[in-house]
Amino acid sequence: MKDRKPLYLMTPALAWLTAFMVIPCLLILALAFFRRGLYGGIEYTFTLENLALVFDPLYAGIFLKSAAIAGLSALIAVIIGYAAAFAIAAAPSRRQPILLFFAVLPFWSNYLVRTYAWIVLLNREGLITGLARWLGYDAEMPRLLYTEGAVVVGLVYNYLPFVILACYAPLSRLNPEIAEASRDLGASSWTTFRRVVLPMTVPGIATGFVFVFVLSIGNFVTPALLGGGQFQMIGNLIYAQFLTANDWPFGAALSMVLIAIMMGLLTLQTFATERASGAKREES
Amino acid sequence: MASLANPRLMLAILAAVFAFLYVPISVLVALSFNDGGLPTAWTGFSTRWYGELLHNRDIMSAAFNTLVVAVVSTVLATILGSLLAIGVEIRRRKGRFLETIIFAPMIIPDIVLAIALLSFFSLLNVTMGLHTVILSHVVFNLAFVCSVVRARLKTFDWSIVEASTDLGASTPVTLVRIVLPVMLPAVIAGALLAFTLSVDEFIIAFFTAGAGRDSITLPMQIFAMIRFGVTPEINALATIVMAVSVIALTLSQRLNRGGLPGQ
């Protein structure tokens, strides 16, 4: 088969992606620069007002808040995920695949269901309150569900398996002799971990952090269900512009800024990974 | 790693993490079999909540809609994605632009694709319903099928294809008789993955299904029910949905791991 033949194999799929992904996304890009019509429609005159509005303190605040929640979730997920990945990598090698399989298994179940599981645990008549009562805690329980804390727990819970996977990859590839050499030269376990193992596994940490952050900052399901509409994150704001407020150009502008943040982070992460692997090559 | 690790600490970490991962889901599954249905008191094992599901017309119609969307979008995505995978792998030049287009549906945030499609369909005055959900689901499904099939074709010896062509077989015959058998496990694995993704997908369906009650999919129904609180019926439904995706994906992984046939 010549090099030209593959075109007709690829055409149907590429046409589909062009029609239902590339063009719609370009449309969103264009919409951000149009004016909102009087009755929720779109007026086709060029404007930068929508983009400017994104940086209005009110909306910039929501961006910052989303970033804070996403950052906190990513940080916690990376700490727990790294510890778990380290423990898996330290297990006997024949047990590692099965441990990894069960660490990732929850990730395969429905996102809504995994989030709902936390509503079951955290609601006013839920298991945690019940457990506290049973243990003899009689005072008024603080509200658990519909708080920022619940949203962070939900995000960590949902994305933890990915972080474990991302951190396990570099940990399992690490040559154990390097750590042993460090110990032989007199470094303590902690020093060896901090100065040798940790720096060599930064790519996994970066991948895990960026992944959780990117998926969390634009998330709309978890804040809606576990935050209970008590506060808005950027995903909910975009949702509202399209389905309730009917201000599509502003919603498009919000999405554009969100995508820009995500792309920036993903590029940074690729850069970090490439630099780390480049540094390793120079060492050897 | 083992030389640095304190075995007891490692065991404690594993126990804590696995408890964190599995306690919430396990509680949910256990409660779905609780006869009384209350989260606070265990009143005996029962499958009555699963029976109740069968009598809930909203849930049954949503389940049917989801099945339609998942099956149709999986079939389309499997055909398009597999052909795309062959096309990309046969080419010797790898274009960065092409790779980006194929990779994009897998990393683009759901909410962005969802609003993009909503605007697109509205501006074209397309009436939205299950058909627009299917069109949209094929976008990310075909990308996932393509990536699974490509991984398999990476190890494929393309000189066999040249031999087949030299011996006089036409391209379609070569594809069906030489390439297809080799990639079939990956195609099925990709299809299972696509089916699961489609069954579970909520956000894009939510935005592209239109306002009609007859185009509500199962995740949309679950989302609406969850917002009203915890009920034993949702526990049962959630358990089923979870079981379906875990089984399908475990199967998909299994198929994909097996070596090439005849090796």
Per the domain annotation, does B36 fall within a domain? no
B178-181: list long-range contacts, CB under 8 Å, 24+ apart.
B179/B86, B179/B153, B181/B261
Asked if residue A278 has pLDDT above 70, the reply is: no
Dist. CA A176–CA A192, nearest whole Å: 11
Residues of chain A in contact with residue B202, where contact means CB-CB under 8 angstroms, are 111-112, 221
Q: What is the pLDDT of residue A5?
A: 63
pLDDT in tens, B112-163: 899 999 999 998 999 999 999 999 999 999 999 999 999 888 888 888 888 8
Residue identified by tokens 């379609």 is: B172
Q: What is the pLDDT of residue A115?
A: 94
Average pLDDT over residues B186-210: 94
Size of interface A-B (CB pairs under 8 A): 254
Beta bridge partners of B45: B34
pLDDT in tens, A220-250: 899 999 988 777 888 889 988 888 888 889 9
Q: What is the pLDDT of residue A187?
A: 83
Q: What is the pLDDT of residue B1?
A: 61
Q: What is the pLDDT of residue B209?
A: 95
Average pLDDT over residues B193-212: 93
Mean pLDDT of chain B: 89
Per the domain annotation, does B234 fall within a domain? yes
CATH number assigned to the domain with residue range A69-283, chosen from the 4 options 1.10.490.10, 2.40.128.20, 3.40.50.2300, 1.10.3720.10? 1.10.3720.10
Nearest CA in chain A to B237: A113
Q: What is the pLDDT of residue A4?
A: 52
Residues of chain A in contact with residue B84, where contact means CB-CB under 8 angstroms, are 9-10, 12-14
**pLDDT higher for B204 or B154?**
B204
User: What is the residue range of B209's domain?
Assistant: 58-257
Per the domain annotation, does B116 fall within a domain? yes
A220 lies within 8 A of chain B by CB: yes
Asked if residue A202 has pLDDT above 50, the reply is: yes
Q: What is the pLDDT of residue A243?
A: 84
Average pLDDT over residues B199-222: 93
Asked if residue B210 has pLDDT above 70, the reply is: yes
Q: Point out the least confidently predicted range of A50-54, A184-188, A229-233.
A: A229-233
Average pLDDT over residues A3-7: 62
Dist. CA A16–CA A19, nearest whole Å: 5
Q: Judge whether A174 and A125 are in contact, CB under 8 Å.
A: no
d(CA A84, nearest CA chain B) in Å: 6
Choose among B240, B112, B126: nearest CA to A109. Answer: B240
Inter-chain contact A5–B123, Cβ cutoff 8 Å?
no
Asked if residue B195 has pLDDT above 60, the reply is: yes
Which whole-number Å values give the CA distances from B114 to B47, B87, B201, B209, in the listed order?
Answer: 37, 28, 11, 10
Per the domain annotation, does B221 fall within a domain? yes
Per the domain annotation, does B176 fall within a domain? yes
Calculate helix-pair angle for B48-55, B57-90, nearest 10 degrees: 90
Dist. CA B138–CA B121, nearest whole Å: 15
Per the domain annotation, does B22 fall within a domain? no
Q: What is the pLDDT of residue B259?
A: 41
Per the domain annotation, does B262 fall within a domain? no
**The pair of three-digit structure tokens given for residue B6, joined into one six-digit string:** 């304190």
Query: What CATH number has the domain bearing residue B222?
Result: 1.10.3720.10
Domain count, chain B: 1
Asked if residue A283 has pLDDT above 60, the reply is: no
Asked if residue B235 has pLDDT above 80, the reply is: yes
Q: What is the pLDDT of residue A40?
A: 64
Q: In chain A, what are the domain boundaries?
A: 69-283
Per the domain annotation, does B3 fall within a domain? no
Average pLDDT over residues B229-237: 87
**The pair of three-digit structure tokens given for residue A107, joined into one six-digit string:** 């990730």
Which whole-number Å values give the CA distances from A63 to A69, A156, A206, in the listed order?
Answer: 10, 19, 22
Q: Judge whether A62 and A49 are in contact, CB under 8 Å.
A: no
Residues of chain B in contact with residue A105, where contact means CB-CB under 8 angstroms, are 246
pLDDT in tens, A53-101: 889 998 999 999 999 999 999 999 999 999 999 999 999 989 999 999 9
Average pLDDT over residues B183-208: 94
A185 lies within 8 A of chain B by CB: no
List, in order, residues 6 or more apart from B152 with CB less than 8 Å away: B182, B183, B185, B186, B256
Inter-chain contact A24–B40, Cβ cutoff 8 Å?
no
Dist. CA A99–CA B138, nearest whole Å: 33
Quick count: other Cβ atoms within 10 Å of Cβ A70? 24
Residue identified by tokens 């199967």 is: B251
Asked if residue A185 has pLDDT above 70, the reply is: yes
